[in-house]
Amino acid sequence: MRATLMHDGSIVTVQAYFFHGDCERSRIIECGEYRRYLAEAVSPEQWYIAFASNMSTGRLEKRIPIPGTIEKGYLEGYRLMFNKKADGGGVYANIAWAGAGYRCPFTACVITRDLLSLLDGFEGGPAHYARIVVPFSFTPSGPQHMGHLYMADPKKLTENGTPSAGYLKYIYDGYEEHGFDTKDLPKPR
């Protein structure tokens, strides 16, 4: 069986087990992702993780009301990419699993499932960005949480590039607002 990896669109061979029992009393996981299903079943309030333009409070507030405190940290093992195809050309931000030695700045806040659904529309979900749930912590030795973030659909990936100056400004604003170093961000064209 073959599967497409979310972080880079590559195709890998995988093994799968198929259940051959009775499924009549089973529920379909509508969102298609088990961790997301579990996180949403626990509480109406969920952690939302922003890693690019939505790190700018001004940009996020244009999309949803921010109900509480915004925390910050690094997603260990992930890196910020600019490989999501923009409609009409160009690129947008994406996040990719890169393994040990990589980390991506992020901000997070607790929001309702209704606000997450509203963000789905802004993120073009699920055709452009899929909302997935990942484990995270605010410090390397801190407690683990589960949080929702948006990762580009593998069909929308392209070569890493430089986004538009207007889009980059939101990312620079968010990094500076939350005290992250901007040295590794692309320079505006």
Domains along the chain?
35-177 (3.10.490.10)
Q: CA 120 to CA 117: how far, in whole Å?
A: 5
Spell out the alpha helix ranges (H) of the chain.
34-42, 57-63, 113-122, 165-177
- What does the block give as tokens for 30? 């509508």
Distances (CA, A) of 106 to 137, 178, 181: 11, 9, 12
In single-letter form, the type of residue at position 1 comes to M
Alpha-carbon Rg for the chain in angstroms: 17
In single-letter form, the type of residue at position 91 comes to V
Q: CA 50 to CA 64: how far, in whole Å?
A: 13
Q: CA 98 to CA 47: how far, in whole Å?
A: 22
pLDDT of the residue at 78: 94
Q: Exposure string (b/e) for 91-123, b if CB count within 10 Å is 16 or more?
A: bbbbbbebeeeebbbbbbbbbbeebbeebbeeb
Q: What pLDDT tens digit does each residue of the chain (189 aa) get?
A: 877 666 666 778 878 877 778 877 777 777 777 777 777 777 888 999 999 999 999 999 999 998 789 999 999 999 999 999 998 889 999 999 998 999 999 999 999 989 999 999 999 888 899 999 999 999 988 999 999 999 999 999 999 999 999 999 999 999 999 999 999 999 876
pLDDT of the residue at 7: 62
